[in-house]
Structures are given as structure tokens and as C-alpha cells.
Amino acid sequence: MLRKTFEIEIQQLKDDVLVLGSMVEQAILGSVEALKKRDIKASQKIFEQDQEINKKRFDIENQLMILIATQQPMAHDLRLLASSMEIISELERMGDYAKGIANINIRMGDAPLLKPLIDVPRMAQIGADMLHRSLTAFVNEDVEAAKSIPIQDDEVDALYNQVYRELMTFVIQDPKTIERANWLLWVAHNLERVADRVTNICERTIFIATGEMKEIKSTDDEFWHQQKQSNS
């Protein structure tokens, strides 16, 4: 009976993590859409809703601490609860990135975008998709999915580099555009960090299922490692 109750509480925990993840996913996509449309009111709403994300995170954290204190979990159960604490922290930080993008749109005021947003929305969509699939992998403790999802981080990095190069071209041609270029660069930076934190979630999922804590390296990491080895 005690084990059955604990399993119900674990399922509730996972459901709550999925709810938090959905809130963050919507905030990420919504913040970029508001920027693209220069919808200040939508950005203000996303900025304010970050408090709801924070509250949900702390509610789950409190739930986790109660489970750890009262159930005295061991082995797999302890890995699950401890890793869930890390995962909700990652989600809260992603929410902060969405809030940051919303804040940039608000601060821009009436200033027009330096360039049409093409790669930035693609970064947001890929990051949100990675996040969604990483949480599905977490709930199902799907090791293979958790290992494959971070591969898309390279796509996000490539898009970030493309945005950076384009923005620097504008600045070189007209130094007066530097402020507007910086705004978009920070947006791209925030989205690049979302993909990095999804990778952290995947690492925790693998740890829950296998007990092995191992950093997932991107193909870029592997490339530079091989270059270093060949030059040594």
C-alpha cells in the first residue's frame, strides 16, 4: 500500500513537471512571436507570467522535499527525485530566457527591428521541440531519446552563428545600428542557451534510468577534441 501511494505521488510529480515544461515552452514561443510582431502588450503579459512559472517551480520543489523527507527513497527513486529538482531548476531558467526576450521587445519601444526575423523563430521552434521531447523522455525514462535529442543543439548553434554574422554585417556597414543589433543578438543568445539546458535535462534522464552521470557532447565538441588530438 505504501509503495502504491508513492507511485501515485511520483506520477503526480511527473505530471507537474510536464505542466511546468508546457508553461515554459509556450513562453519561449510566445516571446519570439511577440518580438516578431512587435506586440508590446503580448511581451508584457509574458514578462508578468514568469511569476507563475516561478511559483510552479517552487511548488514542485516543495513537493519533492516532502517526498524525500517522508519516503526515504533509495537507488532509482532517489535519483529520480534528486534529478527532478535539477530539471525544474533548468526549466525555471528557460522561463527566465523567455522573460528576457519579452523584456527586450518592451525596451525596444517604437524602434523597428534591424532585420526581419527568420533564423530566430527557427531557433525558438527547434528549442521548444527539443524541450518537449526531452520531457517526454524524462517521463518515460527513455535513454535512447535522451541521447539523440541533444544532437539538434548543433542546429541551434549554427543558426546562432548565422544570426551573429548577419548582425555584425549590419554593424560594420552602419555603426549606428549597434544597439538594435545587440538586442537581437541577446535574443539569439537566450535561445541558444535554451538548447543547452535541454541537453542538461537529457543528461539527468540518462542518470535516472542508468545511474550513470555523463556529459553529452555535441558534434562540435567532438570536432574540436579531434582537432586537438591531431595537433598534439
DSSP for the chain, please give it: -HHHHHHHHHHHHHHHHHHHHHHHHHHHHHHHHHHHHT-HHHHHHHHHHHHHHHHHHHHHHHHHHHHHHHH---HHHHHHHHHHHHHHHHHHHHHHHHHHHHHHHHHHTTPPPSS--SHHHHHHHHHHHHHHHHHHHHHHT-HHHHHHGGGGHHHHHHHHHHHHHHHHHHHHH-GGGHHHHHHHHHHHHHHHHHHHHHHHHHHHHHHHHHS---PPPPHHHHHHHHHHHHH-
As a whole number, the mean pLDDT across the chain is 92
pLDDT in tens, 17-38: 999 999 999 999 999 999 999 9
For residues 67 and 135, is the Cβ–Cβ distance under 8 A? no
pLDDT tier at 227, thresholds 50, 70, 90: very low
Q: Model confidence over 94-133: pLDDT tens digits?
A: 999 999 999 999 999 999 999 999 999 999 999 999 999 9
CA 82 to chain centre: 19
Locate the domains of the chain by residue range: 2-218
Which of 1.20.58.220, 3.60.20.10, 3.30.470.10, 3.30.470.20 is the CATH number of 2-218? 1.20.58.220
Q: What does 194-219 look like in DSSP terms, one character per residue? A: HHHHHHHHHHHHHHHHHS---PPPPH
- Averaged over 125-143, what is the pLDDT? 97
Residue 225: predicted pLDDT: 43
- 156-205: per-residue pLDDT in tens? 999 999 999 999 999 999 999 999 999 999 999 999 999 999 999 999 99
* Report field, pTM of the whole predicted structure over 0.95: no
Q: Which pLDDT value is given to residue 73?
A: 86
